[in-house]
Structure 1
Amino acid sequence: MKRYFKLLHETPDSISVPRGFIGRVLRFCKEQQIEYVLEDQRKKAELINFKGSIALREYQLPAQQAATKKDFGIIVAPPGSGKTVLSLAIIKDKQQPALILVHRKQLADQWTERIESFLGIPKKDIGRIGQGKNKPGKHITVAMIQSMEKALESTESTELINAFGTVIIDECHHVPAETYQRVIGKLNSYYMYGLTATPFRKYNDGKLIFIHLGEIIHEVKAPEMQNQTGTQIIIRDTDLFVPFNTQTDKFETLFKILIHDSARNQLILNDVVSQLNASRKAVIITERKEHITSLQQYLKQHYDTIALSGEDSDLSKKSKWAAINRGDFQVLITTGQYFGEGTDIQNIECLFLVYPFAFEGKLIQYIGRVQRSEVSPVIYDYRDHKISYLERLFQKRNVYYKKLDQSGLTNPVDERETVSGQKNENIEVSIEQLEFRFGSIAFKHIIADFNGKEVEFEIENLNVRPEFTVLKPYFIRFLKSTTVLVNIRATFQHNRLVFKSASSSDLDKINREVIESVKFRFLNKEIIKGTPVGEENLLDAGQVQGGSEQLIYTNEDDLLENILALKQYKHHRHLCYLSQKHERSILKLRFVLEPFSFVFLLSGNNQYHLVWETLDTEEATYIWHIDKSIYELERSTKRIDGLLGQIRTNGRQQYLETNPEQFSRIVHDYTNDHKGFIVWKDLLEEKLF
């Protein structure tokens, strides 16, 4: 069985598998000629009539139709494709009380706003689980995943387990995380759908997404979206002219003249320079190596320029792609082959199409590469209108531009366009308002000169991670201020934001050394000196961190490694030894508070052994011996969880006076550290083997 099923949960009379795995189970039974009866015991809740009107875009309709045919599965759609609105349309169609699971506060807030706008449900009637709230809504609820897990573990969770008929999991590529698996495994919903732009994760654990949620039922392709970000198209008319007859003249001659025409190249360079001087990153696409070289010769004298073509060696390509992915350039000159091969080049705001072509598919792909949230990308297209053949190529490109224009998705701009507004000011931002992301810190600020619009700024800090949100109080103490000083710059063209940047010397102080210092304080105060909350005593890494939505220490081994790295605690050597022997594949390491201690699982010849060892208090090592059975191990673990609470309340001596069975202890000798450890190790191994 193990060869086929890796996510079984077994009890004496049943076997449970995730819902997405049911298809494989049935196929396995058929292949092995195992008789079975499939009983669908799912039940729908009472029908709900959601109000509001949701008009989906044409490219979203197939995804909605797929959801009408499938009760669970995954919808893959790129950023900006309207996954939230699509999901609300699905919820409205299903007419079931709905739950939306998210992993970040910002996502929860966005969902709440969209629900209010599209379904007409007042904010006060939208259920929220997370940020100190635990109130499911009558029609729809938005829940933070960590908070939902705690809510499902409470004694009153039965009603919650059966409360939702439709479950939407936003950014479901996080499903391989154990918290997600535990939560969705408990929910008895009739419908369940996952949303993601990235269904596969590294280390091959992407398969877990499909095992829990089922197969991909629809995938929105980037071309289906067309252009959703208000792209500005600037058409430049060149003065290039040579007599050219497609019947008699060589195309190669024409294109050699084009790429070496000094006036045409100067027009291109003037446009590129104007954008680079406005601190925008740019990509120039041509199809000739000689053209790349001639443009590079000028630009590299003044700007950080990368030229990438098929003539680069493998080593050179690798080095250049690394620099591109780091953002270590101002302008990239390359061919369509490299710009379109799938590498995610971030923060490109300007694209220069300097070599004629006709294929609409190329144009769609290129435009998709430069679409970015609030910053409207600018695309320069060079129209060689005096040569009829090249004009025909442009007109084919222009067909697509017109499609975008008719959809109201472009902002036509001519060459006389001028900047209509700039902002450069220093502002104070509350540290509590900062959003920590992977490698950056973001915040929002209202710019009065820009019609009072709220603009999101982002400052690069490669040391920062989202989980550092819980460290904000410690950063405030370090900076000795509840605010940071930030310089913001923004440029507007025709009432559209086309450039933004921010910098802060205060935030630059949050370097690796400061973060490690702050993490140590957090570890000592919030975890090692933490206070038990609730009835459970055997805790995982998330629980000892207060059940925060963002975890500083992502798993038990990470937390243990950081604690043992300090080498200052009484039982440091003992814990290192126990950690090496711990059976991680069977039971996760568990922590106990007051005093801070660890519970390891060791495997002997005939028995399992649960070993309780404190971190820094002079307490004996406690060992419970258990029959070598997973079922008995689960029962004993629950029993020992209760015993630990009694021991904390009544003391160890009272427990010892009960003469517990299948139990032993080892008393530490602190007179000589080295000798004491060797004696302890020998006694432990005698009891285990």
Structure 2
Amino acid sequence: MYTQTRSLCLPRGCLDDVTKFLSNFSVSTKIEDKRVLGNKLKSLKIKTKLRKEQQSAVKDLARFDVGVLHAPTAFGKTITAIGLIHKRKVSTLILVHSRQLLDQWKERLNTFLEGASIGIIGGGKRKPSNEIDIATYQSLIDRKSNTINDVIYNYGQVIIDECHHISAPNYELVLNEVHAKYMLGVTATPYRQDGHQPIIFMHSGPIRHKGISQSQSKFEQRVLKRSIFSQPPQELMIVTPRPHISEVYKWLTESPSRNDEIADDIAHTVRQGRNPIVLTERRGHAEILAERLKEKDISYVILRGGMRVKERQAANVRLNEVQVVVATGKYIGEGFDLPRLDTLFLALPISWKGSLAQYAGRIHRESEGKESVIIYDYVDYSLPMLERMFAKRLKGYDALGYTVIEPELPNQMSQAPLGLDS
């Protein structure tokens, strides 16, 4: 919210609440609409048939000028948004926060839409088509003048992918300049760990459709709880009220026995023909675990932040060839699509339900022959804070429809009735 001369400027998502508030005090309102309609894309055609639940979502979203699509991974949020682009047939700008999502949207649009040029702004490219363009929001900001690129005024519709990121100050700077008639936010997690989710709805409007993943009814979903009882360093035991998570991560990352146990579990699933992804919160930990896999002659690829373009491209080429994907959670949490994955290893503990839902979503995509998905959760009982983090994850697993299984004998997976071969 900010003020100008004799004006009070509010994000567009506040309109319904403001008019209702004024009406409650018998204050009449007059709306002068200065939004941009954009250019018509009359030749636009879609090259796929949306599933019934996606068609229902498009119908609900099209009834409103602004709103949020809230749906889990495997629902097909990108395809649904493409369906809305096709229905409205107006020039559209798709905003993303990463190069990875930029590339994914480009691939999907080229695959499923025809009749419009696809432009790119970001990742070192600045070639807008003014028909359907994809942009990283950072690329629209002139860092010297702190102004927004005028290209943003050319569209009748703006789609914000992973819209839970828009509370970032620079993202809001971009959205404050949007004049498009239509705005859609897309997310699997319409909440934030910092509690700033109201900003999502202030800009994008309320949730207009909440989707349910098909995978949640098609796959058997299990969590294998792996209990670990290793003694932490004394300095972690005496810190009050609790040690910093970075220090705890350092201890867990450098634990040879813990890393060996994770690597043994990964090897076990590979032998059973499963397709695992290993997620950690530290780049160095990804390297350590990858080295353990190398010692076991297991092929892998590492995905992490800070990769150069050629490194990322080479890694992407190998994704369907390797036995294991090792990645950092922040890199892989959004915009990653490898349907064959069916087993997730949480190599370091997390607590926030949003991250858990995003990470679990990596193994929820449909793939031929996939009947079950499994999460390996390593619970370190030597620190109370780690037990509390697991308690929070339990609530998240319950919300996602998972059943938690614990071997009768800790650290004896081969004796546990896992049913992995079923």
Residue of structure 2 aligned with 1:103, choices 85, 90, 97: 97
Aligned-residue offset at 1:206: 0.7
TM-superposed deviation, 1:46: 3.2
1:118 is matched with: 112
- 1-structure distance, mates of 2:60, 2:139: 31
Superposed counterparts of 1:329-348, under 5 Å: none
Distance 1:58 1:137, change over 3 A: same
Whether the 8 Å CA contact 1:45–1:164 is kept in 2: the answer is yes
Letter aligned with residue 131 of structure 1: G
Contact 2:164 2:200 in 1 (8 A): yes
Counterpart CA distance in 2 for 1:162 and 1:142 is 14
Partner of 2:136: 144
- Residue pair 1:151, 1:157 contacting (<8 A) in 2 also: no
* Corresponding residue for residue 89 of structure 1: 83
One-letter amino acid of the counterpart of residue 195, structure 1: V
**Residue deviations 1:5-34, cap 9 Å, x none?**
xx2x21223221100011111122112222
Question: CA offsets, 1:173-207, max 9 Å, x none?
Answer: 01111111111110111110000111111332111
> Does the 8 Å contact 1:171/1:194 carry over to 2?
yes
Name the structure 2 match of 1:12: 5
Q: Return the offset for 1:306.
A: 7.2
Aligned to 1:199: 190
Q: Does 1:182 align with 2:173?
A: yes
- Alignment CA distance shift 1:37-1:194 (3 Å): same
Is 2:275 the partner of 1:283? no
Letter aligned with residue 183 of structure 1: V
* 1:47 CA drift (Å): 1.6
Aligned to 2:206: 215
CA distance, structure 2, for counterparts of residue 427 and residue 218 of structure 1: 36
Instruction: Give the superposition deviation at 1:425.
Output: 5.1
Q: Which of 306, 322, 326 matches 1:459?
A: 326
Deviates more, 1:90-99 or 1:44-53: 44-53
Cross-structure match for 1:33? 26
CA distance, structure 1, for counterparts of residue 64 and residue 302 of structure 2: 50
Alignment of 1:346-357 (within 5 A): none
53, 57, 62: which one pairs with 2:51?
57
Partner residue, 2:392:
none
Q: Residue type matched to 1:32 in 2?
A: F
CA contact (8 A) 1:444 1:456 kept: no
Q: In 2, Cα distance between the equivalents of 1:426 and 1:217?
A: 41
Q: Given the alignment of the two structures, is residue 128 of structure 1 paired with residue 120 of structure 2, yes or no?
A: yes
Q: Distance in 2 between matches of 1:191 and 1:60?
A: 19
TM-superposed deviation, 1:36: 2.3
Structure 1 residues 61, 498: closer, same or farther in 2, change over 3 A?
A: closer
CA shift, 1:330, in A, is: 11
2: CA distance between counterparts of 1:224 and 1:497? 13
Distance change (3 Å), C-alpha of 1:173 and 1:13: same
Structure 2 letter corresponding to 1:283: L
The answer to whether the 8 A contact 1:152-1:161 is kept is no
**1:214-613 to 2 correspondence within 5 Å?**
214-222=205-213, 226-227=217-218, 283=224, 305=227, 375=276, 424=298, 432=308, 433-434=310-311, 443-446=315-318, 453=320, 458-459=325-326
Letter in 1 for 2:129: G
2:140–2:148 Cα contact (<8 Å) kept: no
Structure 2 residue 71 is matched with structure 1 residue 77: yes
Q: 1:24 to 1:133 in 2, by over 3 A?
A: same
Deviations 1:555-578 (A, max 9, x none): xxxxxxxxxxxxxxxxxxxxxxxx
Q: CA deviation at 1:68?
A: 1.6
Structure 1 letter corresponding to 2:64: K
1:136 CA displacement: 1.4
CA contact (8 A) 2:138 2:170 kept: yes
Q: What is the CA–CA distance in structure 2 between the aligned matches of 1:133 and 1:14, rounded to whole Å?
A: 37
- Match of 1:141, SS state, is strand
Aligned-partner Cα distance in 2 for 1:428–1:195 = 28
Q: How much does 1:162 deviate?
A: 2.2
Percent identical pairs in the alignment equals: 29
Distance in 2 between residues matched to 1:198 and 1:456, nearest whole Å: 29
Distance 1:212-1:153 versus aligned 2 partners, 3 A rule: farther
Residue 126 (structure 1) shift: 1.6
- 1:166 aligned onto 2:119: no
Name structure 2 gaps, 5 residues minimum. 230-244, 278-295, 332-339, 348-422
2:239 aligned partner: none
The answer on whether the counterparts of 1:444 and 1:454 sit within 8 Å (CA) in structure 2 is no
Tell me the distance in 1 between the aligned counterparts of 2:300 and 2:102.
30
2-side partners of 1:82 and 1:142: how far apart?
Answer: 18
Contact residue 148 and residue 177 of structure 2 kept, 8 A: no
Superposed CA offset, 1:382-440 (max 9, x none):
xxxxxxxxxxxxxxxxxxxxxxxxxxxxxxxxxxxxxxxx97458999952456xxxxx
Q: What is the rounded CA distance, in whole Å, between the counterparts of 1:116 and 1:182 in structure 2?
A: 29
**Could you tell me how far 1:52 is from its partner in structure 2?**
3.1
When residues 330 and 69 of structure 1 are mapped into structure 2, their CA distance, relative to the original with a 3 A threshold, is farther
- For the residues of structure 1 that align with 2:164 and 2:302, how far apart are their CA atoms? 36
- Distance across 1 between alignment mates of 2:301 and 2:70: 39
Structure 1: which 4+ aligned runs deviate by more than 6 Å?
151-156, 326-331, 426-430, 496-501
Cα deviations by residue, 1:614-635 (Å, 9 ceiling, x for unpaired): xxxxxxxxxxxxxxxxxxxxxx
Query: Displacement, 1:212?
Result: 1.1
Cα displacement (A) at 1:96:
0.4
